[in-house]
């Protein structure tokens, strides 16, 4: 049986989880990017169309992360199959939700499905990283949770350097994405080149506390550790509109913490259970709307499964 068409979805991510810069990330339930791949006579992957990006993303196969990931996978497999890609963006670019990682992951998963899934999900990591590297650098803090789901600890770019951590049952998230764009390059440029030893000790201690709290499923301790960043947030705070006001509003409405998601400007509120989710969402929305700034607010949780094959159809 020859599969002629395949469709895959890859979830958004919250990278860093506050204190875990470039090493921690989680997959977000219910929002992400979708890729449809269809066979074509000529070898290699090309971009057919992009929906939902406002014409901001290049159709050039050498510049689009989805086609780069697809071609990397075809090369990894030594395949001369040709595919054309339709990318449906559910995530805005420059949002801090792992947009480029989601596109890369969805493309690799869809192409693998089109070829009859010759590779296990974990084996798609190099191709996904190749796509992500074109925009955000060769690191897996977004790619790993989007591909594998849940919470991931990533200390390198090899599969052996990635660990899936337990998902605390009661941990809920409220995400607010202001209507501004923050590029990963700009956010990285804002970071300090060096940090004092005292800050390093505090930061590594907070990461250790966070991992410990995750294993104990202690959401309050998780939130406390996530909010303990003394290195990255202070350097990037000026890029996040109304960060202080949003944090104050979220905490007053019942959130346990509010941290920057990835490079921002999306902010992630952490809650213990669902009871305060609606109030936190409304409070965060009010912060931006009262200042004439649009925003998107999402009440969500951690996606356990990562990328999914939605459909595959035979010729």
CATH of the domain at 286: 3.30.70.890
Residues 76 and 23 in one domain: yes
Q: Which are the contacts of 197, defined by CB distance < 8 A and separation ≥ 6? A: none
Helix (H) or strand (E) holding 17: none
Domain count, the chain: 2
Residue 264 above 80 pLDDT? yes
Query: In this structure, are 71 and 197 located in the same domain?
Result: no
Please tell me which of 53-67, 133-147, 166-180 the model is most confident about, judged by mean pLDDT: 166-180
Domain span including residue 178: 171-301
Do 217 and 291 sit in the same domain of this protein? yes
Question: Do 130 and 26 have their domain in common?
Answer: yes
DSSP lists the bridge partners of residue 154 as 162
Q: Domain check: are 181 and 282 in the same one?
A: yes
Residue 59: per-residue pLDDT: 93
Same domain, 55 and 149: yes
Residue 279, SS3 per DSSP: helix
Same structural domain for residues 260 and 231?
yes
- Cβ neighbors of 72 (< 8 A, separation 6 or more) are 108, 126, 127, 130, 131
- With residue 194 as reference, give the H or E element that holds it: none
| % pLDDT > 90, the chain | 90
Q: How far apart are CA 255 and CA 261, in angstroms?
A: 15
Region 105-115 average pLDDT:
97
Q: What is the mean pLDDT of residues 37-49?
A: 96
Structure confidence by residue, pLDDT tens digits, 197-241:
999 999 999 999 999 999 999 999 999 999 999 999 999 999 999
The CATH number linked to 47 is 3.30.230.10
Residues 139 and 108 in one domain: yes
Query: CA 244, 181, 156, 164 torsion: positive or negative?
Result: positive
The packing angle between helices 125-136 and 99-114, to 10°, is 150
223 in the same domain as 111: no
Co-location of 97 and 182 in the same domain: no
Around 205, how many Cα atoms within 13 Å sit in the side-chain half-sphere? 9
Name which of 114-123, 176-185, 238-247, 277-286 the model is least confident about.
176-185
207 and 124 both lie in a single domain: no
| Tally of CB atoms within 10 A around 304 | 13
Q: Are residues 49 and 161 in the same domain?
A: yes
Q: In the predicted model, what is the mean pLDDT of residues 263-278?
A: 96
184 pLDDT band, cuts 50/70/90, is: confident
The catalytic residue positions are: 132, 184
What whole-number distance in Å separates Cα of residue 128 and Cα of residue 152? Answer: 15
């Amino acid at each position: 049986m020859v599969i002629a068409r395949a469709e895959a979805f890859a979830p958004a991510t919250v990278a860093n989880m506050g204190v875990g810069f470039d090493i921690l990330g989680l997959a977000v339930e219910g929002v992400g990017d979708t890729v449809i791949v269809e066979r074509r006579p000529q070898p290699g992957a090309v971009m057919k169309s992009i929906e939902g990006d406002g014409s901001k993303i290049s159709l050039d196969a050498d510049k689009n992360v989805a086609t780069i990931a697809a071609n990397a996978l075809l090369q990894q497999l030594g395949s001369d199959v040709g595919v054309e890609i339709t990318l449906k963006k559910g995530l805005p670019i420059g949002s801090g939700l792992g947009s480029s990682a989601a596109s890369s992951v969805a493309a690799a998963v869809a192409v693998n499905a089109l070829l009859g899934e010759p590779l296990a999900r974990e084996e798609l990591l190099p191709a996904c990283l190749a796509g992500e590297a074109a925009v955000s650098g060769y690191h897996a803090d977004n790619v790993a949770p989007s591909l594998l789901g849940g919470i991931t600890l990533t200390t390198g770019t090899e599969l052996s350097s990635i660990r899936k951590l337990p998902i605390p049952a009661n941990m809920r998230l409220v995400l607010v994405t202001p209507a501004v764009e923050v590029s990963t390059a700009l956010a990285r440029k804002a970071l300090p080149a060096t940090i004092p030893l005292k800050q390093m000790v505090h930061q590594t201690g907070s990461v250790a506390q966070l991992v410990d709290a995750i294993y104990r499923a202690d959401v309050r301790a998780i939130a406390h550790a996530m909010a303990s960043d003394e290195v990255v947030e202070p350097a990037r705070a000026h890029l996040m509109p109304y960060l202080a006001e949003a944090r104050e509003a979220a905490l007053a409405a019942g959130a346990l913490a509010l941290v920057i998601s990835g490079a921002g400007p999306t902010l992630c509120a952490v809650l213990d259970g669902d009871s305060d989710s609606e109030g936190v969402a409304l409070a965060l929305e009010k912060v931006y709307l009262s200042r004439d700034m649009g925003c998107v607010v999402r009440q969500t949780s951690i996606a356990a499964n990562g990328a999914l094959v939605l459909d595959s159809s035979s010729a």
